[in-house]
Amino acid sequence: MGSVLRFLVDREVIRRATRPLPLGTLAVNVSGAALLGFFGGLVLSKEAALLAGTAFVGAYTTFSTWMLETQRLGEERQLRAALANIVVSVALGTTAALVGQRIGAHI
């Protein structure tokens, strides 16, 4: 389910965006970080946390696509876009995970 949702979200963002950054992958990975943080903030059994975090969010997010898209930006000499992709992804992903964790802890 996670990989199908990733495909749908990525395609919808790409359809609407015309930027050099791979915004579909960014949207998927940031929302996945928020979701993983949320699950981490909840009091879940070990099995439920593993299923939610690894099975669903792991299939939903994509580190390899993020790195491939960044490498391709570098190959195309879009070095600012490649660096921005790394910095923005890490900053937004970390922030999203922290916000998700706080929300999950308060439920």
The beta-carbon contacts of 5-9 under 8 Å, at least 24 apart in sequence, are 5/60, 6/59, 6/60, 6/61, 6/62
d(CA 72, CA 94): 24
- According to the annotation, is 58 in a ligand binding site? yes
Tokens of 101: 């964790």
> Is 32 known as a binding-site position?
no
Positions at the binding site: 58, 61
Positions at the binding site for Na(+): 58, 61
